[in-house]
Amino acid sequence: MAKVHFIAIGGSVMHQLAIALRNKGYQVSGSDDEIYEPARTNLANAGILPPAIGWDPSRVTADMDAVILGMHARADNPELARAQELGLKIYSFPEYIYQESRGKTRVAIGGSHGKTTITSMVMHVLQQCRQQFDYLVGAKLEGFPQSVNVTDAPLIVCEADEYPASALEKRPKFHFLHPHIAVLSGIAWDHINVFPTFDIYLEQFAIFIRTMEPGGKLIYNQGDETLRTLVEREGGHLERIPYGVPEHTIINGITRVRFGNVSTDLLVFGEHNLLNIHAALLVCRALGIGDIDFLAAIASFKGAAKRLELVAKNADTAIYRDFAHAPSKVKATISAVRQQYPGRKLVAVLELHTYSSLNAGFMTEYAGALAPADTAAVFYSAHALEIKRMPDLSPDVIKKGFEREDLTVLTSRAALEAFLDQQDFDNANLLMMSSGDYEGLDFAGLKKYLSVKKPS
């Protein structure tokens, strides 16, 4: 029985891998200096919640087969020092995923946007088609109890993130997966605290392509000129498969997609999701699933958590929540709602929550991002700036960056709630975009705005 120890077991993905290995029959232990919900309850239910919070080098023993180091752990962690002293095998999360999947067919889905949704789509179709597979995805998906699963299945489907792997291993996570089948959805500069220039960011994708196994399949968004040029330059050793927006119609708010002679109505919408579906279809084709079976399965796909997630709706109002935060994601999401409901007013609120989005120098990347909205607001929390040790942001810098003078800038939850209360939601949609939570905003409570008409 393999014996594995997790340093920083409380991470959102780390604890899911720990549970997956426990379910596989491994002996699993771990530690962390803070463990929040739902990780605490999930680990407790699996019988692997650390007995005490904090680091304890005595938990690391010479008989361990592997030590897995989380992003949250620092390079001077005392348990890490003990593991190094004992000469144990130390892995970052993606390095360990590769070790567990060396004998499997590996699918990696990367890109600056859409990777969670494409991964979720492929997982949904494989499950509907009763295929056995392992997976790694960055969101909660209906029908899957965990976001990571590692078994003896012959196939693994991974969301391939470009963020650094660990405190020791600064290379991006997706460099360690070496897939047989890969998707790149597009390239738009992100994570500027790690990749300070676009050229450095772009090079990470070049390395990903160059290190794919010869003869592998690279499925890529041909509408992204930067990506297309990169694939043409770096992907000569691969089978390159382009994709674009498939044939479709929108009737009464319902999108119908067609591939050849096969078509189906969808529960998701937006040009970005049509691109995602085309990418997922090509992955499934490469795995031997026919288009008819794919479309029969994708018709019931509701989306990953917080990806154009419907909070509430009635006959003339819909409220959506979306994870969009980077400029390309914001543009795609807001355009999707605008196109799906062309006759309705659109109220859009974006929270700036990440290092990149709260950086004054990055603000011009958002130029025009909120243009499709009739009424637009940007929210940011002073607390978020404090935690990230960043200087205050001027509303004028935000308005100038977004190129929208009528933009409302909000800096507290109370101000946000007051702003929403002032809006007329008759024949209107509300779109809330954030990778945060607007200082604890009650999303369920937004239902009160259904058919709320502003007093005349």
Chain mean position to CA 176: 18
pLDDT score of 171 more than 60:
yes
- For residue 364, give Cα distances in angstroms to 169, 370, 430: 31, 12, 24
DSSP symbols for 102-117: TTSEEEEEESSSSHHH
**Span 409-436, mean pLDDT?**
92
pLDDT score of 95 more than 60:
yes
Within 8 A by CB and 6+ apart from 287, the residues are 105, 107, 126, 131, 155, 181
pLDDT score of 451 more than 70:
no
**Span 291-310, mean pLDDT?**
89
Q: Give the Cβ contact number of residue 36 at 10 Å.
A: 10
SS3 427: coil
- Percent residues over pLDDT 70 in the chain: 95
pLDDT at residue number 168: 59
- pLDDT tens profile 220-265: 999 999 999 999 999 999 999 999 999 999 887 789 999 999 999 9
**Span 404-417, mean pLDDT?**
93
pLDDT at residue number 382: 77
**Cα(220)–Cα(183) distance, rounded to whole angstroms?**
6
pLDDT at residue number 332: 86
Give the pLDDT band (50/70/90) at residue 355.
low
pLDDT score of 455 more than 70:
no
pLDDT score of 166 more than 60:
no
**Span 104-115, mean pLDDT?**
93
77 compared with 355, residue with greater pLDDT? 77
β-pairing verdict for 155-159 and 375-379: unpaired
**Cα(95)–Cα(3) distance, rounded to whole angstroms?**
17
CA dihedral 63, 68, 74, 76 (to 10 degrees): 20
- pLDDT tens profile 48-90: 999 999 999 999 999 999 999 988 888 899 999 999 999 999 9
Crossing angle for the helix pair 93-100 and 14-23, nearest 10 degrees? Answer: 30
CA–CA–CA angle 208, 213, 216 (5° rounding): 95
With b meaning 16 or more CB within 10 Å and e meaning fewer, what string describes 200-211? ebbebbeebbee
Among 30-34, 106-110, 112-116, 122-126, whose mean pLDDT is lowest?
A: 112-116
**Span 21-34, mean pLDDT?**
95
The 3-state secondary structure of 198-263 reads: HHHHHHHHHHHHHCCCCCCEEEEECCCHHHHHHHHHHCCCCEEEEECCCEEEEECCEEEEEECCEE
**Cα(46)–Cα(247) distance, rounded to whole angstroms?**
46
**Cα(74)–Cα(201) distance, rounded to whole angstroms?**
23
pLDDT at residue number 215: 96
Q: Give the Cβ contact number of residue 324 at 10 Å.
A: 28
pLDDT at residue number 392: 79
Which pair of structure tokens corresponds to residue 20? Answer: 């997956």
Which pair of structure tokens corresponds to residue 429? Answer: 């949609």
**What's the distance, Cα to Cα, between the start and end of the chain in Å?**
71
pLDDT score of 425 more than 80:
yes
pLDDT at residue number 353: 81
| Mean per-residue pLDDT over the chain, rounded | 90
**Cα(175)–Cα(100) distance, rounded to whole angstroms?**
16
**Cα(401)–Cα(387) distance, rounded to whole angstroms?**
23
Q: How many helices (H) and strands (E) does the chain have?
A: 13, 20
pTM tops 0.85: no
